[in-house]
Amino acid sequence: MHMADALLSPTVGGAFWAATGATTAYAARRLRKDINEKLVPLMGVLGAFVFAAQMINFTIPGTGSSGHIGGGMLLAILLGPHAAFLVIASVLTVQSLFFADGGLLALGSNIWNLGFYPAYIVYPLIYRSIVRDNPTARRVAIGAILSVVVALQLGAFSVVLQTRLSGISELPFRSFLLLMLPVHLVIGLAEGVITAGVVNYLRSIQPELLSSRPSSGRSLRKVIIAVSVMAVITGGLLSWFASVNPDGLEWSIQRIYGEPEIQSKENPVTEKLQAIQEKTAILPDYSLPSEGSEETDSGEAWPNPDPGTSISGLVGGFMVLLVVVIFGLGLRRLSGNGNRE
């Protein structure tokens, strides 16, 4: 469920980076305040544990295919929200760098989707209010399964929203949602069962590990206030998107209601290029869509309405690629010689 750079617009990617950055700073500050130095190595190895646990696969009953766990909710249960958020963020950072999962711009969104919801929404609101300070096997099981399912649904919803707001993919909001939510419901149930099993296993052999979290002193009311604040911030963020990226949001809304697409804004670069194109008037041999349709549709269906631009661009682009490759080979030669020397 990793969001990818290629599907994001800079605005959406940047906004989620800002939200994630702020949450990271907040989590770090909270951790520094209730200083518990023991947490430093524990958080570190638990981050590594998430990767290690992914090495262990299992056969999904009845299917023969194998699955593994994501672990966000497990971390929240073990570490409490602030430490868990940082650990999830570190796991995703390493994944984005080494596994190329998603990319760097999408990292902010991915941390938000897979870290913020389990740590700051689901853990306090669902898990804690079900399990409270009395972790019986049943409460843990119900709490864990429900939490994982909700956290994954929120994450999946968030992916759809980010994709839609970015406006790069043509996938309609509703279809995409219908695609993502059921899939993640199944994944969530499986991971929920596993999380519940693991937490209960831990509880049975080392119960003190689960009670050492620094969360017992906090009242539900405080949590609800905190969450409402977050909700307001999130809402604010969304309306901010709406103002900076109006076509993104409206577009998605229109898609939902099946209304025709609205007109995209003209791109200044494209305009320039069109001007150049007009001045130079080239590539007459390529056939273009009929003049008439271009006049009536111009700027309505696509932001880059000049097909001539695309064609000469493609030809030139091919040459550019060739030049780049030759450049690379040359450099390699040069630096290879340098190394040997």
Partner 1 sequence: MSHHIIEFRNVSFTYPDGTAALRDVSFRITHGEAVGIVGPNGAGKTTLIMLMNGLILPGGGEVMVGEVPVTRKTLSEIRRKVGVVMQNPDDQLFMPTVREDVAFGPSNMELPPEVIEQRVDEALREVGALHLKDRPPHRLSGGQKKAVAIAGVIAMKPDILVMDEPTAGLDPGARRQLIEIVKGFRHSRIIATHDLDLVLEVCERCILLHGGAIKRDGPPGEILLDAQLMQESGLALPLSATV
Partner 2 sequence: MEIGSNFLNIGYLDSLSYRASPVHRIDPRIKTIVTIVYVVTVVSFPRYEVSGLLPFFIYPVFLISVGNIPPGFVLRKLLLVSPFVVMVGMFNPIFDRTPMLELYGVEISGGWVSFTSILLKFVLTISTALLLIATTSFTGICEGLGRMGVPQVFVVQLLFLYRYLFVLVEEALRMVRARDARSSGKRGKGVRVFIHLVGVLLVRTIQRAERIYAAMLSRGYTGRMPLRRTHRIGMKELIFLSSWILLFLVMRRYNLSLYLGILLGQDGMR
- Residue ranges in contact with partner 1 by CB under 8 A: 41, 44, 208
| Closest distance to partner 1 from the beta carbon of 212 (Å) | 12
For the chain, the farthest-separated pair of C-alpha atoms sits apart, in whole angstroms, at 78
Q: Quick one: what does residue 47 bind among partner 2, partner 1, none, with the CB cut-off 5 to 8 Å set by partner type?
A: partner 2
Give, for 66, the enclosing helix (H) or strand (E). strand 66-67
Cα–Cα distance, 148 to 195 (Å, whole number): 8
Q: Quick one: what does residue 208 bind among partner 2, partner 1, none, with the CB cut-off 5 to 8 Å set by partner type?
A: partner 1
Cα–Cα distance, 76 to 213 (Å, whole number): 10
> Residue 59: beta bridge partners?
66
| Closest distance to partner 2 from the beta carbon of 239 (Å) | 22
Nearer to partner 1 among residue 133 and residue 208 (C-beta): 208
Nearer to partner 1 among residue 44 and residue 330 (C-beta): 44
| Closest distance to partner 2 from the beta carbon of 48 (Å) | 4
| Closest distance to partner 2 from the beta carbon of 323 (Å) | 8
Comparing CA positions, the residue from 55, 35, 53 lying closest to residue 45 is 53
Look at residue 58 and give its three-state secondary structure: strand
Nearer to partner 1 among residue 39 and residue 152 (C-beta): 39
Q: Quick one: what does residue 235 bind among partner 1, partner 2, none, with the CB cut-off 5 to 8 Å set by partner type?
A: none
| Closest distance to partner 1 from the beta carbon of 44 (Å) | 8
Query: Who contacts 188 (Cβ-Cβ below 8 Å, separation ≥6)?
Result: 148, 149, 150, 151, 152, 153
Comparing CA positions, the residue from 83, 78, 88 lying closest to residue 35 is 83
Nearer to partner 1 among residue 41 and residue 268 (C-beta): 41
Nearer to partner 2 among residue 175 and residue 228 (C-beta): 175
Look at residue 338 and give its three-state secondary structure: helix
Q: Quick one: what does residue 207 bind among partner 2, partner 1, none, with the CB cut-off 5 to 8 Å set by partner type?
A: none
